[in-house]
Amino acid sequence: MQSIHIPFKEHFFNESERADIFAGQGRVFKCLLGDETVYVKKSERTKRHFWHVLQGGLYKVFKDPLLIPTVLGKDEDDIQFQVDKMRRLKKNGIKVPDVVFVDKGYFIMSDCGECVKEYLKLNPRQTDLVLNKACREMAKLHLKNFVHGGAQIKNFVIRKGVVSLIDFEEKIDTKFIEAFKVRDMLVFLLSLERGGFQTDIKRLCQIYHDITHKDIYADLKKFFKKYKWISFLNHKIFDFLSMKDVRALLNLMNRFNG
Ligand SMILES: Nc1ncnc2c1ncn2[C@@H]1O[C@H](COP(=O)(O)OP(=O)(O)O)[C@@H](O)[C@H]1O
Ligand SMILES: [Mg+2]
């Protein structure tokens, strides 16, 4: 692990030191700040990925908020956006990393542990317990009228039994908050399906309901009913695409429609 020397709080790095420190590192990396482990996250101007483009197209056809692409505007500062959101969430009692330092092009946050996805691969017997905690944290987020926008299991981390949410890059128009709550849960469950986690969906929806009083199971069921037609994607003709995501979606759909 890289050790970063910070002589004085206000002067984390001068420009030349920073270039050296960041050289060869990925966009997000763990390092030592003094004797504390922290994560550095660098800016990435949001690209319009294939999925965003596809989603945009689908939205135009179906006018379903669940399909609205979530991207920051051209001139928006992605670092400031994430930092502001994390600070607001923290104030609202949601478990997110502490923002330690912000500078142009990057920010530093506290280390909130291991990625839940990796953690559960090593500790499969804790699957239900940890997923319950993750689900509860997301429900708390929704109860406060925030949404995540990318609630895959890889964006949950765990440290000393505490599950936190990370990675707040998605900008969501406030008028779509309710629809995005459903989408968060959908993305979460889909990532579990995709990751091969065996867990009881109804139990997770119940945990969510206990906190938010929102019948997310019924909402998801409605969603899958609406999009039942996409099961045509399962046809052999699409095999060459090796669409793991599509198959995960169809499996999940079958669980709701079954
Ligand atoms: N504060 C943190 N505590 C622990 N792990 C983190 C933290 N921030 C990032 N990570 C790790 O780095 C990975 C990538 O960070 P993330 O913010 O999700 O960026 P990306 O936009 O690349 O998905 C995460 O999946 C997680 O494993
Ligand atoms: Mg991430």
> Looking at residue 149, which CATH number applies to its domain?
1.10.510.10
Tokens of 209: 């309901």
Residue 66 in any domain: the answer is no
Helix (H, G, I), strand (E, B) or coil at 105: coil
> Under DSSP, is residue 119 helix (H, G, I), strand (E, B) or coil?
helix
Q: Which atom of ligand 1 is nearest to the CA of 109?
A: 1
Instruction: Give whole-number Cα distances, 231 to 197, 198, 225, in Å.
Output: 22, 22, 11
Assigned domain for 214 exists: yes
Q: Is the residue at 53 inside a domain?
A: no
Pocket residue to mutate for ligand 1, from 157, 160, 165, most atoms within 8 A of Cβ: 157
Cα angle 171, 174, 179; round to 5: 90
Using CA positions, which residue lies closest to atom 21 of ligand 1?
A: 167
Strands 2-4 and 28-33, by their bridges, are: parallel
Domain housing 177: 112-257
Q: Per-residue pLDDT for the chain (258 aa), expressed as one digit of tens each?
A: 555 655 444 445 555 555 556 666 788 988 888 788 899 898 876 555 666 667 777 777 777 766 776 766 666 788 999 999 999 999 999 999 999 989 888 899 999 999 999 999 999 999 999 999 999 999 999 999 999 999 999 999 999 999 999 999 888 888 889 988 998 999 999 999 989 998 999 999 999 999 999 999 999 999 888 877 766 666 555 555 556 777 777 788 888 877
| 3-class DSSP assignment, residue 246 | helix
Distance linking the first and last C-alpha atoms of the chain = 48
Of 29, 112, 166, 191, the one to substitute when testing ligand 1's pocket (max ligand atoms within 8 A of C-beta) is 166
Question: What are 172's two structure tokens?
Answer: 């969501």
160 is a domain residue: yes
Q: How many domains does the chain have?
A: 1
- Alpha-carbon span 61 to 59, nearest angstrom: 5
